[in-house]
Amino acid sequence: MSELDGRRAWITGASSGIGAATAARLAALGAEVVLSGRRAERLAAVAAQIEVAGGRARVLPLDVAERAAVERAGAELDALGGVDVLVNNAGVMHLSPLVKVRVDEWERVVDVNLKGVLYCLAAVLPGMAARGGGHVVNVSSVAAQVTFPSSGVYCATKFGVRALSDTLRKEGIRLGVRVTDIQPGAVATELPDTIHYGPVRAAVSAAGALYGPDTAILAAEDVADAIAWAVTRPAHVNVGEIVIRPRVQE
């Protein structure tokens, strides 16, 4: 008997990085995992790896910023019996100085990182409340605690997600819903590929090159471990926030 046997976990942004690693980890603990993201082929590859390892995975491709698509996904998941664990992980990081007024990118960051989280919450929260329990994991960032130049809108969304997490944690007491906000530092994933503004992309790439085998940043699996730990605590325990940084990060 594994700790998450009989549970269904919906993971957004499961086609790569932290989401893919979390899906594999929760599936290894017995959960049936539902994988969402836009790249259907990548989701299928993650699902295939999970199944080869003996886990159960479904693929539910969608853009979390498309409200109607997320609503349809919620209805589909309800028809299957609902979601026990939601991992709101999908995110983009279009960084640039505010003075460059890249308004289209600002809107996209808000749409994916903040509104996407809300849409997914809307899709599962009533069902969790009706069934008397569930666990919502929101992946924010250390950028939910401190700001960085060129990260204004990204930080605004992550501060926002953290605020939502703490509000829902309080409201969740009556609903039986537990809430965990995960705040990673630097993790080696594809996320820097979402920086389109050249000077910041080059600066982030140069900073990444400073890390080596002795000064490694986190692997996606390190964050997946933290998420798995949070969702497998005894029912009376709510792990509200986890901050997880590379040892070498201030």
Active site residues: 154
Sign, CA torsion 155/156/159/164: negative
Task: Assess 71 for contact with ligand NDP (CB under 6 A).
Answer: no
Burial class for 209, CB neighbours closer than 10 Å (0-12, 13-18, 19+):
exposed
* Beta-ladder partners of 178: 135
The Cα 92–Cα 194 span in angstroms is 6
**Residues 80-139 interacting with ligand NDP (rule: CB under 6 A):** 89-93, 112, 139
The Cα 50–Cα 11 span in angstroms is 13
Nearest approach, Cβ of 174 to ligand NDP (angstroms)?
28
- State which H helix or E strand residue 66 sits in: none
Return the residue of 11, 64, 153, 195 that touches ligand NDP, per CB under 6 A. Answer: 64
Return the residue of 10, 12, 105, 222 that touches ligand NDP, per CB under 6 A. Answer: 12
User: By rule CB under 6 A, what count of residues binds ligand NDP?
Assistant: 30
Nearest approach, Cβ of 231 to ligand NDP (angstroms)?
16
The Cα 206–Cα 32 span in angstroms is 39
CB-nearer residue toward ligand NDP: 82 or 246: 246
Nearest to 125 by CA among 178, 69, 80: 178
CB-nearer residue toward ligand NDP: 3 or 190: 190
Q: Which amino acid is at 63?
A: D
The Cα 179–Cα 164 span in angstroms is 10
The residues, ordered by sequence, that sit 6+ positions from 235 with a Cβ below 8 Å of its Cβ are: none
With contacts defined by CB under 6 A, name the span among 47-55, 58-66, 71-79, 126-134 that binds ligand NDP. Answer: 58-66
CB-nearer residue toward ligand NDP: 2 or 215: 215
**Residues 129-188 interacting with ligand NDP (rule: CB under 6 A):** 139, 141, 184, 186-187
CB-nearer residue toward ligand NDP: 125 or 161: 161
Return the residue of 9, 18, 57, 95 that touches ligand NDP, per CB under 6 A. Answer: 18
* Ramachandran angles phi, psi of 177, nearest 5°: -100, 125
Residues found in the chain: 250
Strands 241-244 and 177-184: parallel
CB-nearer residue toward ligand NDP: 16 or 29: 16
Strands 134-139 and 85-88: parallel
Task: Assess 42 for contact with ligand NDP (CB under 6 A).
Answer: yes
Task: Assess 74 for contact with ligand NDP (CB under 6 A).
Answer: no
Return the residue of 98, 190, 208, 247 that touches ligand NDP, per CB under 6 A. Answer: 190
Return the residue of 4, 7, 10, 13 that touches ligand NDP, per CB under 6 A. Answer: 13
Contact residues: ligand NDP, CB under 6 A? 12-19, 37-39, 42, 63-65, 89-93, 112, 139, 141, 184, 186-187, 189-191, 220
